[in-house]
Amino acid sequence: MQHSNDNFIFGLRPVIEAIESGKEFEKVFLQTNLTSPVAKDLQRMLRENNILYQYVPLEKLRRITPKNHQGVVAYVSEIKYQKIEDILPFLFEQGKTPLLLLLDEITDVRNMGAIVRSAECAGANAVIIPQKGSALINAEGMKASAGALNILPVCREKSLAEAIHFIQSSGVQVLACDEKADIPYTDIDMTIPTAFIMGSEGKGISGELLRLSDKQVKIPLMGKIESLNVSVTSGIVLFEALRQRMVNAKG
């Protein structure tokens, strides 16, 4: 099987074999207009296994690898993704108070790793990311997480909006962290089941997810710069939740 040292494989048969062996993928790039029977088999398998794939020009594949890729390059996942529909009921069954983090298209892999590291240290139960638009969880992200990506469940969902509906219907409040909000984050009771939405580095939280949130909260800023790095914001609100819960437990 053809491999590279950058966590991707290439070639039609190698990728098919990887799917059959149960490997998970971050993303698969297919050359536009692949028409061979084997290529059609691969495309069918990608659809049946709900694997994210994208058609790209030949030049993009050549930039990834100059070797004989046969029109396909697949990035293998460093972790095994889970489903929030499986995790959340189990947390309630264990008598735990869920603490979740939803990441709306975080594109910087180092931010992703740092956020998961903070989430694991703060006792969060899961991080939820969308299937499309997020940073690939690669070796750099694993390093930035200091191993947290191997510990904390990461759920990759087709729709964050649907995930929010499920979370809310399960009795979890959803708080959107937005610098334009009116409510300071410390004014919110986080001793109850809570999920935070964190926005992307460039666009912030999408309008749809802001509307779906139960409340929008902000971290007051006293300096001239109007926003914090998303990994810093995540750490601040997560550890406020931890602080409140520790005080409540002593109470």
CATH (domain of 45): 3.30.1330.30
C-alpha span between 127 and 243 (Å, rounded): 19
> Residues 127-143: what's their mean pLDDT?
86
Query: Is a pLDDT exceeding 80 seen at residue 1?
Result: no
In one-letter notation, the amino acid at residue 173 is: Q
The verdict on residue 64 lying in a domain is: yes
> Residues 183-196: what's their mean pLDDT?
97
- pLDDT grade for 240, boundaries at 50, 70 and 90: very high
Nearest to 186 by CA among 215, 149, 229: 215
Residue with the larger pLDDT of the pair 93 and 140: 93
Calculate what percentage of the chain has a pLDDT beyond 70. Answer: 97
Lowest mean pLDDT among 4-18, 126-140, 206-220: 4-18
The verdict on residue 95 lying in a domain is: yes
The verdict on residue 2 lying in a domain is: no
Domain boundary among 56, 76, 96: 76
Same domain, 29 and 90: no
- pLDDT grade for 83, boundaries at 50, 70 and 90: very high
Mean pLDDT of all residues belonging to the chain: 91
3-state helix, strand, coil in the chain (%, to 5): 40, 20, 40
The verdict on residue 127 lying in a domain is: yes
Query: Is a pLDDT exceeding 80 seen at residue 6?
Result: no
- Please give the angle made by the CA atoms of 54, 57 and 63, to the nearest 5 degrees: 100
The CATH number covering residue 183 comes to 3.40.1280.10
Same domain, 134 and 93: yes
- pLDDT grade for 4, boundaries at 50, 70 and 90: very low
- Structural domain of 47: 8-76
Same domain, 17 and 132: no
The verdict on residue 1 lying in a domain is: no
Query: According to the model, what pLDDT value does residue 2 have?
Result: 39
Domain boundary among 52, 76, 100: 76
Domain count, the chain: 2
- pLDDT grade for 50, boundaries at 50, 70 and 90: confident
Query: Is a pLDDT exceeding 90 seen at residue 90?
Result: yes
The verdict on residue 200 lying in a domain is: yes
Upper half-sphere CA count for residue 221 (Cβ side, 13 Å): 15
